Structure 1
Amino acid sequence: MAVPDEYPARVRIHEVGPRDGLQNEPVVVPAAVKAEFIHRLADAGLTTIEATSFVHPRWVPQLADAEELFPLLGDLDGVRLPVLVPNERGLDRALALGAREVAVFASATESFARANLNRTVDESLAMFTPVVARAVAAGVPVRGYLSMCFGDPWEGDVPPGQVVRVARRLSDLGCDELSLGDTIGVATPGRVTALLTALGEAGIPAGRLAVHFHDTYGQALANTLTALRHGVTTVDASAGGLGGCPFARSATGNLATEDLLWMLDGLGVETGVDLGRLVATSRWLAGHLGRPSPSRTVRALSPPSDQE
């Protein structure tokens, strides 16, 4: 199938289920199950899998086992396994285990910066400055997550210029990729267009961007299509639609990787991911979580007995 001219021939899926997905689950998944989950994702063809977070266990107890989990992934040659680090202590822990890619998590709004990091936006960027500098000096690429890019539960709509200002600073720190987060799922295609246009005018091209949509209003796939038309080729998604945000209670789950794949396969866009194997993986994990997957595609491709 020929890919329509307005879309890229290939999209890289940045799988966030093991980190962003599981951090919001009410149950703590054992490290051995997490490791098998990540291996199954890799077996399905995913080549970028966000493995865990080196946040203090008090804040995200679901990911308190990072030191136990990460060594269980040492056999995944050729798979990128980025990890989230909140500060220099988190970076130290990640580097000690051999992490080859890290990410920092910033906010475009003051309210969420205080709720998530107990700091202002400027204070959080100051905290990330030595983290990014040390990682870059060690040859470790840094991804910058930028949350609340379209709306904030306390502040309402977020102007594109406000997002551009923080994105520019993350870029200047040394982040080689920026992931634009629609943390509460309020983005629309028009707002996605406005932000990507503003970022391009500020010197941040689409090739350095990823998009991270939540599906609160059912707009995640439409927003993704809009981003692809603007040159974005990296899309964050979560197997089975797991996740949300523990600090933004109105947010629903992340865009399901299976729903994204169904759409991209239908367009002829290559991803290298096997949909059948991924659906089987999400069904397997749903059994460990004790509830069905929220992904529409997983449900559509599963027997009725698995949907109860």
Structure 2
Amino acid sequence: MSLPSQVKIVEVSPRDGLQNEKQFVDTAIKIELIDRLSATGFQNVEAVSFVSPKWVPQMADGTQVMAGIKRRPGTIYSALVPNMRGFEGAIAAKVDEVVIFGAASEAFSQKNINCSIAESIARFEPVAQAARDAGLRLRGSISCALACPYQGETPVAAVVDVARRMLALGCDEIDVADTIGTGTALRVGQVMRAVTEVVDPARVSGHFHDTYGQALANILAALEAGISIFHSSVAGLGGCPYAKGATGNVATEDVLYMLRGLDIDTGIDLDAVADIGHWISDQIGRKSSSRAGTALAARKAA
């Protein structure tokens, strides 16, 4: 199959990237991060989550963040919501899209939220209905779609089953997420082709972690399977909580550099994103995980 000529990048650093930071990141920095990202041309920014601050204290300021950002026309600002209480927070904050989530692994579902996959999806029925009633976009995320830290490789049929359930809820977009980053290109191709037999490929996205250094290869395999939406995080922000010391999200700069080399349009300014990667890394006191970002910075400094 020929590669798509255009790709949508969902920038997840403000939510998925920052949520595991132990030191609280100042609200003003979160707002500036989102505003800087918006200005570079992202069509979709995963901005906040409305979860219990007891569980994710880093995301406790979601309302203030959404109130403070400069909204760029044409950019979708998303929020992760686990339940109706979270949905009410999201709608009050005027988000454009709510994101629900469920695992494709029974072991992961039981160990993390003490219920089966079917029960976890059923819990989102009122959220999905409320999103439809409010005219909001609804995105469903399938975690552990390649493998699970407890049961190993996830059966392809299990991923397809959850995709069907999310489609039935009315999801506009469905994320296939390699939560622990163990996926490889062959397996990604198999999973994506199976999912796109039941979901329009234009509504399927790939969310890859780079734990084993396979994320770019996996994105290429997904492109070859007809996928044209991908998630990434500037500077590779976001650790993998199930693999100690491992990197998490694939770096946006690396994805953009690869796509540019494939002559695939994203509408995003790579150099500006690389600058943002170094800026946010400085703000939170860590080194950027992006190889392309680091190389571009070195070239600028030369």
TM-score normalised per structure 2: 0.95
* Structure-2 separation of matches of 1:83 and 1:115: 24
Residue 291 (structure 2) aligns with: 296
Q: 2:179 aligns with which of 160, 183, 207?
A: 183
**Do the aligned partners of 1:184 and 1:252 also contact (CA within 8 Å) in 2?**
no
* Structure-2 separation of matches of 1:106 and 1:252: 22
Q: 1:278 aligns with which of 261, 273, 281?
A: 273
Query: Which AA in structure 1 matches 2:209?
Result: H
**Do the aligned partners of 1:15 and 1:49 also contact (CA within 8 Å) in 2?**
yes
Query: Are 1:218 and 2:213 matched, yes or no?
Result: yes
Could you say what the CA RMSD is over the residues aligned between the two structures, in angstroms?
1.7
1:137-161 CA distances to partner (integer Å, 9 max, x unpaired)?
1111100000000110100011100
**Do the aligned partners of 1:144 and 1:177 also contact (CA within 8 Å) in 2?**
yes
Shift of 1:164: 0.7
1:222-276 CA distances to partner (integer Å, 9 max, x unpaired)?
1101111111110100011011344x24553101100000101111110111111
Instruction: For 1:52-67, list aligned pairs within 5 A.
Output: 52-67=48-63
Shift of 1:74: 4.7
* Structure-2 separation of matches of 1:218 and 1:155: 22
**Do the aligned partners of 1:109 and 1:152 also contact (CA within 8 Å) in 2?**
yes
Residue 76 (structure 2) aligns with: 80
* Structure-1 separation of matches of 2:254 and 2:185: 18
TM-score normalised per structure 1: 0.93
1:39-93 CA distances to partner (integer Å, 9 max, x unpaired)?
1111122121000000111111111111111101254332210111100000011
Shift of 1:286: 0.7
164-173 or 72-81: bigger deviation: 72-81
Shift of 1:26: 1.8
Q: Structure 2 stretches of 5 or more lacking a match?
A: none
* Structure-2 separation of matches of 1:184 and 1:35: 28
Aligned residues: 300
* Structure-1 separation of matches of 2:299 and 2:255: 22
Q: 1:237 aligns with which of 232, 238, 245?
A: 232
Residue 20 (structure 2) aligns with: 24
Residue 89 (structure 1) aligns with: 85
Runs of 4+ in structure 1 over 4 Å off: none
Shift of 1:288: 0.9
1:194-213 CA distances to partner (integer Å, 9 max, x unpaired)?
11222233x21211100000
* Structure-2 separation of matches of 1:141 and 1:232: 19
Query: Which AA in structure 2 matches 1:292?
Result: K
**Do the aligned partners of 2:236 and 2:247 also contact (CA within 8 Å) in 1?**
no
